[in-house]
């Protein structure tokens, strides 16, 4: 056997046989070399700098020809130490950290975290209704923007570019709403323990309603492109199969679980933030494949729009009510007002603490720098994020900082099913299967 | 659980009150008395019926903030888990993962592993907690009971050094393979560096003055 | 006077340096190096509304060998650092790096055991782009500023001289701590 010298495909003898390291642009020479050997077992390393869009996920594939015999995921390339970092910040500041975990669903991280803090404080029932409605509104808008990325990048990875352009166009509309409501497009830190950071601005409801109407029209574009499209169905139907038994064993939740036909949605089964007062359907399919999960996400968009509309109705009725708990030992001392510079404290509040009341100033200072204390104990709170159950395990030792914050991230858990979904299938279907899990590496690695 | 002494940014006793009165002891909720309320009594009764070694296996049952925690001895962890999963009236078919918590002051029980269980059939949640000493951080793996706990156990090993015996491949998952130490333990430093500005330095987050 | 006046219309004279700079700056090929939140904003910059295609760089290359601009979009962990350096080494020179976002520029809010405190510890950075995450407009601004830099880049001996001068200046520069801020 002649060994071609190739600067990019070095080969060396190991106990496993001859191993080639390929770093790009040299497949021809590699194919020639491998053609001369007897064994056809090829290990391909996809990532961690990934040609597609799911971030720094490394997939180690063992191939026999085009068939995948073994899949392993290598994760941790985005491990940020957020859980440890929150232990050095106050309970309120923790929101700013957790929002950056699953960066496509920041509002869900914040809400789950705040619900957990509120449960530890024992003030779950004191959170004003208007705050809960705003949370629901923001969560459902966030679900739309997250599903848009899931659909867009999923299609992109299977070679369809146009759906991605449409999806990002619609996502921008939702991000415009976020920007109007809380000033940021991503990583908002808008939900706070006890309520939300500030009330939604005047005129936002009208803008939301307009956007909802526009989105209804826009969603049809992707529907026309993909639903029933022969190529799309051939790439997605009966791919990445995982049935109910597999899902329960692996602890899978979210659209992957619902694609097996089980209507498990925490918004219905274990309602939080008043979800029991909204009228919406839990979407299921029974195909348990990539196409089924795609259909679920498409239809959940419409359900989210329904919830957003109902939330708008409720907000109009609750106009002028507080958005933060009444307890001044927990609530942020002042209503923030949006000034010309974007965000600022209300002038009336500054006048009071600086000019009139020393006690107010001390109280403001203590609450902002020291924060509030949370009684010792532990809780587990779960919300239904776009990817499944986002659970927060919070432990307090009674101090002003969390003792331990742990996120049970749906992406982390669901990514385990890659092996079950992909082994035995073709290499091209691995991409589709992983796209249907919709893992966000920020959530996987935290 | 722990004890906080003194006031802002002071180490040592730091008591400026003159009465040595500024000491607050923090305690975690103790064992609860029946009735637990809700479905918790049913869960406890059903488990007791289905699981003969119940009184040996369960150290204490804590109901706090509307959540049930079963403190299980590690020698009986697998049997308890199997009973919780297989008994028809319990049916905790999903495990939402395991999470380590490090209590360095809890001598002999420094490392806690907390399992969150979910029953789709009965729509219930409970929690199992197991404590192991830091000197012998071994726990039986539950991968055979709930396959989905595989990565969670690897994460707890990676972050806390809890060793799950019988795990099919207990290696680091988030940190690099050659990393030293287990970063989310309390005795592992946060590892921040001081931040330099023009003419000023701000210490690392873990070194700043803080409220206890 | 001179050559310019004798030329027929339709011919422009320039220096090799400027021509090369013009060519280079208008054919940047970014590598897909999405890491975290910033990657989503980078994708948004490539999508419909912001449309990076207007500047001739909407095609993100999956292979580092076909790319000459690395946009480090997000936090770089200690585990990712060697991978990042390898990808940088695989890119064909001349190559440029944009540190997108607070985390890539300085470690950002994650001052802890897991995150590299600024990607400039691993690769030379041409543009630091603040924000958490920066808006797509800010990314475009950074890219346009990089275009300007590339367009004005020197070649040959001039380039070597500039590199020498920059290095000498960097060696002589005061550490950040000793620099007086605006208030001092």
Q: What is the pLDDT of residues A28-41, one digit of tens each?
A: 776 676 666 666 66
Cβ distance A249 to B67 less than 8 Å, yes or no, reads: no
Better pLDDT: A50 or A77: A77
- Name the residue ranges covered by the structural domains of chain B: 1-28, 31-188
Cβ distance B192 to C112 less than 8 Å, yes or no, reads: yes
List the one residue out of A165, A134, A132, A164 whose CA is nearest residue A151: A164
Of B66, B96, B150, Cβ closest to residue A389: B96
Cβ distance C133 to A97 less than 8 Å, yes or no, reads: no
Alpha carbon distances (Å) from B162 to B130, B177, B182: 11, 16, 9
The whole-model pTM stands at 0.89
pLDDT greater than 90 at residue A23: no
pLDDT greater than 90 at residue A144: yes
For residue A48, say if its preceding peptide bond is cis, omega within 30 degrees of 0: yes
Output the pLDDT for position A135.
Answer: 93
- From chain B residues 49-78, the ones with a CB under 8 A of any chain A CB are 64-67, 69
Nearest-Cα residue of chain B relative to residue A78: B174
Section B141-166 average pLDDT: 92
Alpha carbon distances (Å) from A329 to A128, A364, B24: 16, 10, 19
pLDDT greater than 50 at residue A154: yes
pLDDT-derived band at A141 (thresholds 50, 70, 90) equals very high
3-state secondary structure of B198: coil
Q: How close C144 comes to chain B (CA, Å)?
A: 28
Q: Which two tokens stand for residue C50?
A: 């912001």
Q: Select the highest-mean-pLDDT range: A336-345, A389-398, B53-62, B194-203.
A: A389-398
Section A102-129 average pLDDT: 92
Cβ distance C115 to A81 less than 8 Å, yes or no, reads: yes
Assess A389–B contact: CB distance below 8 Å, yes or no: yes
CA dihedral A61, A62, A64, A68 (to 10 degrees): -50
Contacts of B212 in chain A (CB under 8 A): 399-400
Chain Cα centroid distance, residue A84: 20
Output the pLDDT for position A329.
Answer: 82
Asked if residue A2 is part of any domain, the answer here is no
Helices and strands (DSSP H and E) totals, chain A: 18, 12
**A155-158 own/partner pairs: CB under 8 Å, 24+ apart:** A155/A226, A155/A232, A156/A52, A156/A53, A157/A52, A157/A53, A157/A54, A157/A431, A157/A432, A157/A435, A158/A232, A158/A235, A158/A236, A158/A431, A158/A432, A158/A435
Burial tier of C52 (Cβ tally within 10 Å: 0-12, 13-18, 19+): buried
Report how far residue C54's alpha carbon sits from residue A207's, in angstroms, rounded to the nearest whole number.
29
Neighbours of A289 (CB within 10 A): 23
What percentage of chain A exceeds 90 in pLDDT? 39
Q: What is the pLDDT of residues C78-110, one digit of tens each?
A: 988 988 898 898 888 888 999 999 989 988 889
Assess A169–C contact: CB distance below 8 Å, yes or no: yes
Output the pLDDT for position A1.
Answer: 39
The domain over range B31-188 is classified in CATH as 1.10.1580.10: no
Task: Check: CB of residue A164 under 8 Å from CB of residue A141.
Answer: no
Asked if residue A22 is part of any domain, the answer here is no
Q: Which two tokens stand for residue B89?
A: 């009236």
Q: What is the pLDDT of residues A119-138, one digit of tens each?
A: 999 998 889 999 999 999 99
Burial tier of A265 (Cβ tally within 10 Å: 0-12, 13-18, 19+): buried
pLDDT-derived band at B211 (thresholds 50, 70, 90) equals low
List the one residue out of C79, C76, C75, C124 whose CA is nearest residue C98: C124
| Positive or negative torsion for Cα A124, A129, A131, A133 | positive
Task: Check: CB of residue A138 under 8 Å from CB of residue A208.
Answer: no
pLDDT-derived band at C54 (thresholds 50, 70, 90) equals confident
Q: Which of A64-68, A113-117, A191-195 has the lowest mean pLDDT?
A: A64-68
Asked if residue A243 is part of any domain, the answer here is yes
Asked if residue A342 is part of any domain, the answer here is no
Task: Check: CB of residue C77 under 8 Å from CB of residue A78.
Answer: yes
Output the pLDDT for position A344.
Answer: 59
Assess B212–A contact: CB distance below 8 Å, yes or no: yes
Residues sharing a CB contact under 8 Å with residue C74, sequence separation 6 or more, in sequence order: A78, C34, C35, C36, C37, C38, C39, C100, C101, C103, C104
Cβ distance C37 to A442 less than 8 Å, yes or no, reads: yes
Report how far residue A419's alpha carbon sits from residue A130's, in angstroms, rounded to the nearest whole number.
44
Q: What is the DSSP string of B57-100?
A: HEEEEEEETTEEEEEE-GGGHHHHHHHHHH-TTT---EEEEEEE
Q: Which two tokens stand for residue B20?
A: 């040595």
Q: Which two tokens stand for residue A42?
A: 């090829």
What rounded mean pLDDT belongs to chain A?
85
Output the pLDDT for position C27.
Answer: 82
Identify the residue whose tokens are 């009330």: A199
Q: In chain C, which ranges are E strands?
A: 30-31, 69-73, 96-100, 127-129
For the beta sheet containing C127-129, the strands, ordered from the edge strand earlier in sequence to the opposite edge, are C30-31, C69-73, C96-100, C127-129
Section C127-131 average pLDDT: 91
ipTM of the complex: 0.87
A281 sits in the region (left: phi over 0; alpha: psi -120 to 50; else beta) called: beta
Report how far residue C181's alpha carbon sits from residue C184's, in angstroms, rounded to the nearest whole number.
6
List the one residue out of A152, A106, A185, A96 whose CA is nearest residue A390: A106
Q: How many CB pairs under 8 A join A and C?
A: 110
Report how far residue A338's alpha carbon sits from residue C24's, in angstroms, rounded to the nearest whole number.
44
Residue-number span of the structural domain to which A301 is assigned: 82-330+372-445
Section B46-68 average pLDDT: 85
Neighbours of C177 (CB within 10 A): 12
Output the pLDDT for position A386.
Answer: 92
Better pLDDT: C126 or A29: C126
Cβ distance C114 to B193 less than 8 Å, yes or no, reads: no
Instruction: Say which CATH number the domain at A295 has.
Output: 1.10.645.10
Task: Check: CB of residue B174 under 8 Å from CB of residue B153.
Answer: no
Output the pLDDT for position A373.
Answer: 86
Q: Which two tokens stand for residue A374?
A: 């949370």
| Positive or negative torsion for Cα B83, B84, B86, B88 | positive
Cβ distance B201 to C177 less than 8 Å, yes or no, reads: yes
Beta bridge partners of C34: C73
Q: What is the DSSP string of A271-336?
A: --TTGGGS-------SS-SHHHHHHHHHHHHHHHHHHHHHHHHHHHHTTT--SB-S-TTTS-SS-E
pLDDT-derived band at B126 (thresholds 50, 70, 90) equals very high
Output the pLDDT for position A339.
Answer: 56
Chains with 3 or more CB pairs closer than 8 angstroms to B?
A, C
Assess A362–B contact: CB distance below 8 Å, yes or no: no
Output the pLDDT for position C151.
Answer: 84
Residues sharing a CB contact under 8 Å with residue C83, sequence separation 6 or more, in sequence order: A48, A49, A56, A77
pLDDT-derived band at A97 (thresholds 50, 70, 90) equals very high
Task: Check: CB of residue A107 under 8 Å from CB of residue A138.
Answer: yes
The radius of gyration computed from the CA coordinates of chain C, to the nearest angstrom, equals 19
List the one residue out of C149, C145, C128, C150 whose CA is nearest residue C38: C128
Q: Which two tokens stand for residue B133?
A: 């000493």
Task: Check: CB of residue B2 under 8 Å from CB of residue A401.
Answer: no
Q: How close B14 comes to chain C (CA, Å)?
A: 28
Cβ distance C133 to A187 less than 8 Å, yes or no, reads: yes
Q: What angle do CA A132, A137, A138 make, to 5 degrees?
A: 100
List the one residue out of A268, A265, A277 whose CA is nearest residue A129: A277
């Amino acid at each position: 056997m002649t060994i071609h010298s190739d600067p990019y495909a070095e080969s060396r003898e190991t106990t496993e046989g001859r191993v080639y390291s390929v770093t790009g642009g040299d497949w021809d020479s590699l194919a020639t070399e491998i053609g001369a050997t007897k064994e056809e077992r090829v290990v391909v390393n996809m990532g961690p700098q990934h040609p597609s869009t799911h971030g720094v996920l490394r997939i180690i594939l063992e191939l026999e020809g085009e068939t995948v015999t073994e899949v392993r995921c290598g994760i941790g390339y985005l491990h940020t130490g957020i859980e440890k970092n929150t232990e050095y910040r106050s309970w309120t500041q923790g929101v700013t950290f957790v929002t950056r975990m699953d960066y496509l669903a920041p509002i869900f991280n914040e809400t789950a975290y705040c619900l957990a803090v509120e449960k530890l404080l024992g003030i779950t029932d004191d959170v004003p209704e208007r705050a809960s409605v705003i949370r629901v509104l923001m969560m459902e808008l966030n679900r739309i923007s997250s599903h848009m990325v899931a659909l867009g990048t999923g299609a992109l990875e299977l070679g369809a570019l146009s759906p991605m352009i449409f999806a990002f166009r619609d996502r921008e509309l939702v991000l415009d709403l976020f920007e109007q409501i809380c000033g940021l497009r991503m990583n908002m830190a808008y939900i706070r323990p006890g309520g939300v950071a500030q009330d939604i601005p005047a005129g936002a409801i009208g803008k939301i309603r307009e956007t909802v109407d526009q989105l209804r029209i826009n969603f049809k574009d992707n529907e026309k492109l993909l639903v029933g499209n022969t190529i799309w169905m051939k790439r997605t139907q009966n791919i990445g199969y995982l049935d109910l038994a597999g899902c329960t064993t692996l602890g899978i939740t979210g659209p992957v679980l619902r694609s097996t036909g089980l209507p498990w949605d925490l918004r219905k089964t274990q309602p939080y933030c008043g979800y029991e007062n909204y009228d919406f359907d839990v979407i299921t399919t029974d195909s348990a494949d990539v196409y089924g999960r795609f259909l679920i996400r498409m239809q959940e968009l419409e359900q989210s729009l329904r919830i957003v509309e109902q939330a708008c109705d409720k907000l109009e009725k609750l106009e002028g009510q507080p958005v933060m708990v009444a307890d001044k030992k927990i609530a942020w001392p002042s209503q923030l007002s949006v000034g010309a510079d974007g965000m600022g404290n209300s002038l009336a509040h500054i006048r009071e603490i600086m000019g009139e009341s020393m006690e107010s100033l001390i109280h403001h200072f203590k609450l902002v720098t020291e924060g509030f204390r949370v009684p010792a104990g532990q809780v587990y709170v779960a919300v239904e994020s776009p990817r499944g159950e986002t659970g927060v395990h919070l432990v307090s030792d009674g101090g002003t900082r969390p003792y331990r914050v742990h996120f049970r991230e749906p992406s982390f858990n669901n990514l385990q099913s890659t092996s079950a979904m992909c082994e035995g299938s073709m290499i091209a279907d691995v991409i589709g299967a992983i796209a249907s899990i919709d893992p966000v590496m920020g959530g996987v690695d935290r | 659980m722990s004890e906080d002494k003194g006031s802002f940014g002071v180490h040592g006793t730091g008591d400026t009150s003159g009465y040595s009165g500024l000491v607050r002891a923090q305690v975690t909720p103790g064992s609860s008395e029946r009735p637990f309320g809700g479905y918790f009594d049913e869960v406890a009764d059903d488990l007791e019926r289905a699981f003969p070694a119940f009184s040996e296996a369960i150290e204490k049952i804590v109901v706090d903030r509307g959540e049930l925690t079963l403190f299980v001895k590690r020698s009986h962890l697998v049997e308890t888990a199997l009973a919780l999963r297989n008994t028809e009236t319990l049916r905790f078919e999903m495990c939402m993962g395991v999470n380590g918590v490090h209590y360095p002051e809890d001598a002999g029980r420094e490392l806690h592993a907390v399992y969150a269980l979910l029953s789709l059939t009965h729509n219930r949640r409970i929690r199992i907690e197991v404590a192991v000493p830091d000197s012998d951080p071994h726990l039986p793996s539950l991968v055979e009971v709930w396959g989905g706990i595989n990565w969670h156990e690897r994460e707890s090993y990676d972050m806390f050094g809890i060793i799950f015996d019988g795990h099919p491949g207990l290696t680091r998952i988030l940190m690099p393979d050659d990393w030293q130490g287990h970063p989310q333990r309390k005795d592992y430093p946060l590892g921040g560096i001081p931040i330099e500005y023009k003419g000023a330095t701000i210490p690392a987050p873990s070194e700043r003055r803080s409220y206890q | 006077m001179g050559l310019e006046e004798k030329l027929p219309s339709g011919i422009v004279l320039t220096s090799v340096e400027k021509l090369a700079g013009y060519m280079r700056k208008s054919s940047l090929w970014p590598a897909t190096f999405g890491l975290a939140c910033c990657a989503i904003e980078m994708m948004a910059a490539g999508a419909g509304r912001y449309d990076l295609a207007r500047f001739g760089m909407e095609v993100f290359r999956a292979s580092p060998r076909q790319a000459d601009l690395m946009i480090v979009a997000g936090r770089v962990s200690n585990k990712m650092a060697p991978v990042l350096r390898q990808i940088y080494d695989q890119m064909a020179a001349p190559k440029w790096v944009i540190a997108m976002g607070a985390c890539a520029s300085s470690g950002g809010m994650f001052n802890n055991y897991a995150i590299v405190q600024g990607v400039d510890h691993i690769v030379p950075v041409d543009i630091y782009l603040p924000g958490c995450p920066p808006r797509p407009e800010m990314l475009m601004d950074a890219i346009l500023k990089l275009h300007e830099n590339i367009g004005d880049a020197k070649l040959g001996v001039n380039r070597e001289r500039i590199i020498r001068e920059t290095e000498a200046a960097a060696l002589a520069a005061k550490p950040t701590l000793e620099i007086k801020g605006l208030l001092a």
